[in-house]
């Protein structure tokens, strides 16, 4: 009978210890932020551009296709937007990043078109970790 009495006495202590362990495992720290290095930044931008500009059938980008060049030995991962029917042609848009934190640049003939404001806003949003289309 004695062991049963001891386990009843220990049970509240075990519950308190378990509760404190669970509380210790829970963190009030903010969620981790998106990496600001060049490659992860360009990966986010490439995913956003592919989903929002090309896969969605967006009329502003129907004449183009995405050509990601994320594996760069120069340390400047980039994405290219090229003519849909001539992927080997000169890029119409280049978005690239370099360093940590990433320094972004976007250039090419599309940046002289009315769609340039949208390109810049989308790229900044995706680079900062935002998701979704405009």
User: pLDDT tier at 14 (50, 70, 90 boundaries)?
Assistant: very low
Mean pLDDT of 24-53: 80
pLDDT at 37 over 80: yes
Q: Which residues contact 49 (CB under 8 A, 6 or more apart)?
A: 66, 79, 81, 95, 122, 123, 126
Q: What is the pLDDT of residue 73?
A: 81
Is 89 within 8 Å of 83 (Cβ atoms)? yes
Higher pLDDT, 17 or 120: 120
Q: Is 79 helix (H, G, I), strand (E, B) or coil?
A: strand
Q: What is the pLDDT of residue 15?
A: 47
Q: For residue 105, what are the β-bridge partners?
A: 96
Mean pLDDT of 1-17: 51
The predicted pLDDT at position 48 comes to 97
Which pLDDT belongs to residue 33? 62
In percent, how much of the chain has pLDDT > 70?
75
Q: pLDDT per residue over 52-78, tens digit each?
A: 999 999 999 999 999 999 997 888 999
Mean local confidence (pLDDT), 35-59: 95
Helices 116-127, 38-49: axis angle to 10 degrees equals 130
The model scores a pTM over 0.85: no
């Amino acid at each position: 009978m004695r062991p049963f009495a001891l386990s009843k006495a220990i049970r509240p202590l075990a519950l308190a210890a378990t509760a404190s362990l669970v509380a210790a495992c829970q963190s009030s720290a903010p969620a981790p932020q998106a990496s600001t290095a060049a490659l992860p930044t360009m990966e986010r931008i490439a995913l956003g551009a592919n989903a929002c500009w090309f896969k969605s059938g967006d009329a502003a980008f129907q004449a183009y296709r995405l050509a990601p060049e994320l594996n760069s030995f120069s340390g400047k991962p980039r994405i290219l937007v090229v003519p849909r029917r001539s992927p080997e042609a000169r890029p119409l848009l280049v978005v690239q990043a370099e360093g940590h934190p990433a320094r972004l640049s976007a250039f090419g003939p599309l940046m002289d078109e009315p769609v340039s404001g949208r390109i810049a806003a989308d790229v900044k949003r995706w680079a900062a970790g935002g998701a979704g289309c405009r």
